[in-house]
């Protein structure tokens, strides 16, 4: 597979030629700079976007285009929504400012399913899959997804609230050891509240909570003012950040990085019992999740994402 960033020239071999004319009556390719949002704004029709590494091996991947072609029947769903099918390289249009999508990132490879996104008439964006990645569609399941997008009632996986829970010694055993879920806990001293250091760490913790909404990791904070950390925690100074693996909670692991939003996320990602759904072991967001985040921003009706060239 070509190891290139989406949007950077040259495009992968076969990018310009894989899309056969026989599909053009129902399917479209993604437009270039600045055209997608402007076109969508003009009619705001529900839209399906199917992406794969078609240019790498179209013979092996054409089945996905044929499926989309069948679903886009002009006598059925084709009259109610637009259908875009393209190589992953073309997805750069959803982040024209940074070109941050790595085409060969985890989650999109020849042997895997495509990445499929639905955009409602009101600009909401949904992913065809689970938090952990895409699921393989068939004609019927893709039709169901399209109808849900058209009606604006897509069934999504349920994420937990992004809140960071407070914990104290009295409830420590009850909350920490009652389940096999991974746990991350920040020890801090409320005497430092209002200081730049404490304000920054609490902001970082809140951002981490947002990042972990779709992950099987519980996030806590514990005030050590007037008390001490539980046994087996060597807290010399605050703030201090620890991780407890689900079945190894008697062996807490301390974060050695300088605490900040990315380093805390990376620590959780590399230490978790299982790889996170949205992030790899380095704490980098996986391609399916990265695209979803940028598409949500791109089609947000409160923004003016019409690209650099009008």
Q: Is pLDDT larger for residue 234 or for residue 99?
A: 234
The first and second tokens of residue 17, run together, are 């030629």
Looking at residue 1, its pLDDT comes to 40
Domain 21-157+287-298 matches domain 165-271 at the CATH topology level:
yes
CATH: 3.30.200.20, 1.20.1530.20, 3.90.45.10, 3.40.30.10. Which one for 165-271?
3.40.30.10
**pLDDT tier, 291 (very low <50, low <70, confident <90, very high otherwise):** very high
pTM score of the predicted model: 0.90
Residue 6, pLDDT score: 73
Q: Cα(91)–Cα(140) distance, rounded to whole angstroms? A: 26
**How would residue 73 be classed by pLDDT, with cut points 50, 70 and 90?**
very high
> How do the domains of the chain map onto residue ranges?
21-157+287-298, 165-271
pLDDT at 107: 59
Give the torsion through C-alpha atoms of 114, 119, 123, 125, to 10 deg. Answer: -40
User: 29, 85 in Cβ contact below 8 A?
Assistant: yes
Q: Which two tokens stand for residue 186?
A: 């920040």
Contacts 24+ apart (CB under 8 A), 148-156: 148/118, 149/46, 149/47, 149/48, 149/81, 149/118, 149/119, 149/120, 150/46, 150/77, 150/80, 150/81, 150/120, 150/121, 152/120, 152/121, 152/122, 152/124, 154/118, 154/120, 154/124, 154/126, 156/126
- Flag whether pLDDT at 283 surpasses 90: yes
Query: Which range, 78-82, 95-99, 226-230, has the best average confidence (pLDDT)?
Result: 78-82
pLDDT at 80 over 60: yes
Statement: residue 89 has pLDDT above 70: yes
Question: Per residue in 123-138, pLDDT tens?
Answer: 999 999 999 999 999 9
DSSP per-residue codes, 67-92: HHHHHT-TTTGGGTSEEEEEEGGGGG
Q: What is the pLDDT of residue 307?
A: 47
- Report the pLDDT value the prediction gives residue 309, as an integer from 0 to 100: 37
Q: What is the Cα–Cα distance from 18 to 92, expressed in whole angstroms?
A: 18
Determine what percent of the chain is predicted with pLDDT higher than 70: 92
For residues 72-83, give the mean pLDDT.
Answer: 98
The mean pLDDT value for 112-130 works out to 97
Phi, psi of 17 (to 5 degrees): -115, -10
Is the pLDDT at 5 greater than 70? The verdict is no
* Average pLDDT of the residues in 282-294: 93
Give the pairing type, strands 182-188 and 217-223: parallel
Answer left, alpha or beta for residue 188, where phi above 0 means left and psi between -120 and 50 means alpha. Answer: beta
Model confidence band, residue 304 (pLDDT cutoffs 50, 70, 90): low
pLDDT of residue 310: 34
Q: Which residues pair with 116 in a beta bridge?
A: 50
Q: Give the class (CATH, top level) of 21-157+287-298.
A: alpha beta
To 5 degrees, how large is the angle CA 185–CA 277–CA 12?
A: 135
> Quick one: pLDDT band at residue 4, thresholds 50, 70, 90?
low
Residue 147 preceded by cis peptide, ω within 30: no
CB of 99 closer than 8 Å to CB of 84: no
- Work out the percent of the chain whose per-residue pLDDT is above 90: 75
Determine the Cα angle at 99 with ends 96 and 104, to 5°: 135
Average pLDDT (255-275) is 97
Between 85 and 226, the more confident residue is 85
Judged against a pLDDT cut of 70, whether residue 9 lies above it is answered with no
- pLDDT at residue 121 in the model: 97
pLDDT 10s digits, 140-180 = 999 999 999 999 999 888 888 878 999 999 999 999 988 89
């Amino acid at each position: 597979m070509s190891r290139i960033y989406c949007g950077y020239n040259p495009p992968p071999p076969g990018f310009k030629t894989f899309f056969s004319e026989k599909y053009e009556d129902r399917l479209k390719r993604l437009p270039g700079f600045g055209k997608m949002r402007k076109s969508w704004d003009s009619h705001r029709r529900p839209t399906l976007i199917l992406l794969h590494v078609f240019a790498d091996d179209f013979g092996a991947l054409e089945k996905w285009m044929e499926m989309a072609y069948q679903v886009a029947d002009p006598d059925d769903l084709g009259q109610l929504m637009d259908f875009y099918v393209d190589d992953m390289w073309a997805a750069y249009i959803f982040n024209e400012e940074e070109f941050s999508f790595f085409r060969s990132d985890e989650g999109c490879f020849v042997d895997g399913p495509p990445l499929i996104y639905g955009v409602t008439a009101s600009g909401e964006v949904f992913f065809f899959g689970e938090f952990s990645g895409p699921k393989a569609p068939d004609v019927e399941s893709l039709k169901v997804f399209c109808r849900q997008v058209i009606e604006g009632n897509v069934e999504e996986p349920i994420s937990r609230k992004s809140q960071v829970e407070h914990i104290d010694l009295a409830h420590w055993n009850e909350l920490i050891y009652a389940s096999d879920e991974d746990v991350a806990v920040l020890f801090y001293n409320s005497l430092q509240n209002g200081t730049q250091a404490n304000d920054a760490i609490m902001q970082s913790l809140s951002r981490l909570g947002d990042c972990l909404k779709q992950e099987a990791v519980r996030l806590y904070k514990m005030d050590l003012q007037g008390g001490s950390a539980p046994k087996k925690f060597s807290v010399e100074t605050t703030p201090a950040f620890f991780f407890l693996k689900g079945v190894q909670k008697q062996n807490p692991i301390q974060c050695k990085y300088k605490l900040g939003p990315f380093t805390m996320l990376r620590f959780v990602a590399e230490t978790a019992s299982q790889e996170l759904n949205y992030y790899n072991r380095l704490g980098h967001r996986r391609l399916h999740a990265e695209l979803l985040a940028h598409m949500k921003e791109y089609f947000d009706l409160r923004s003016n994402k019409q690209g650099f060239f009008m």
